[in-house]
Amino acid sequence: MQEFTVRPQPDDPRLTRTVSGIDHEGQPIGATVVMERPLTLFLNGREIVTMMTIGDHPDYLAVGYLLNQNMLRPEDRITGIDYDNELEAVVVRTDRETDFEDKLKKKTLTSGCAQGTVFGDLMEKFDDVRLDPDAVLRTSWLYALTRKINTAPSLYLAAGAIHGCVLCEEDRPLLYMEDVGRHNAIDKIAGYMHLHDVSPRGKIFYTTGRLTSEMVIKTVQMSIPILISRSGFTAWGVDLARQAGLTLIGRAKGKRFIALAGSERIVFDGDPRVVADGHPRLSRKASLEEDAA
């Protein structure tokens, strides 16, 4: 795949609008704000959940959500995906019945933005996944990825109040998805990978949000061995990463980063002396918003 096969579209008029207000001096100002709309997901005619999303890539979001909640299995054959913009609904159809009724009986609210939910047992597939022990992360790749991702046009840079997730390979960002919740952004990538048969082998996952238990579980379920964030960690996220053998890197800004799990995969081949310490387009306020998100 080429770099940024899928990338944010900050100029798409459907994703943002301008709202009038005043600034700190009382002067009139127009602020760009991200749109937020409901999307109701159906699986084989059964309503599953209504998610708040920016509205792009509803097909990828729907399939990725069902996969990451274990409501679809990789071997399930999808026969159709129908999206109705007026009804704000997406329907995923399979060639056989799924076990989603049992999943709906157990509903656990997660710490994700926009009230993300995980159905059934959070750890259902977690213990069965074996991450690639031969995967490596070169620090030269890490420095290149953070520079390319942070300078790419995005809704985050245009309006803020949004999370991004990026599927990468070596020093190349491949798929860059954004949404109001990081769980939506990672589900979009999971859906794209499934529908386009993209292998997790040799892949690296980057997120702008916190490294929570949910982000670790979903990354492990997708069989991606390396997870990077420019934000911080939660304790359970670290514990689960160590349990699964996931390389977990946070606070990745400029030449700085912290690895709290899987550090044996890191190859120190980059020279931090030639890397800028942080990126000038990421303001102090934006950095604080990331850590609080």
Q: What is the DSSP string of 187-256?
A: HHHHHHHHHTT---TTEEEEESS-B-HHHHHHHHHTT--EEEESS-B-HHHHHHHHHHT-EEEEEEETTE
CATH topology of domain 137-292: Cytidine Deaminase; domain 2 (3.40.140)
Q: Write out pLDDT tens, residues 206-223.
A: 999 999 999 999 999 999
CA distance 169 to 7: 15
Q: Write out pLDDT tens, residues 92-148.
A: 999 987 766 556 655 544 444 544 455 445 566 777 888 999 999 999 999 999 999
Beta bridge partners, 39, equal 51
Q: Is the pLDDT of residue 25 over 60?
A: yes
- pLDDT value, residue 271: 83
Token pair for residue 65? 């959500």
